[in-house]
Amino acid sequence: MPDGELVVADTSPLLNVALIGRLDLLREQFDGVTAPEQVWDELAAGDDGLDHLRALRDECLGA
C-alpha cells in the first residue's frame, strides 16, 4: 500500500476481521482506518467481536 493510505471501512469487513482476531492486519496494511458513525452503531448493536472492535475504536480515536 502507498504511504499515507487511509481506509474508510464498512461494517461487514470490520466485523469479520474482528471475529477471526486479526484486527492487527488493518494496522499493518494501512496508515489509518476510519468508519462512519453509523458503522460503529451497527457494530455496537451486536455482541460478535464487540470487545475487539471497541479496542480498535479506542485506538483509532486515541483514547
Q: What pLDDT score was predicted for residue 63?
A: 44
**In the predicted model, what is the mean pLDDT of residues 8-12?**
82
More confident residue, 4 or 20: 20
How far apart are alpha carbons 44 and 50 in whole angstroms? 7
How far apart are alpha carbons 63 and 54 in whole angstroms? 11
Q: What is the pTM of this model?
A: 0.61
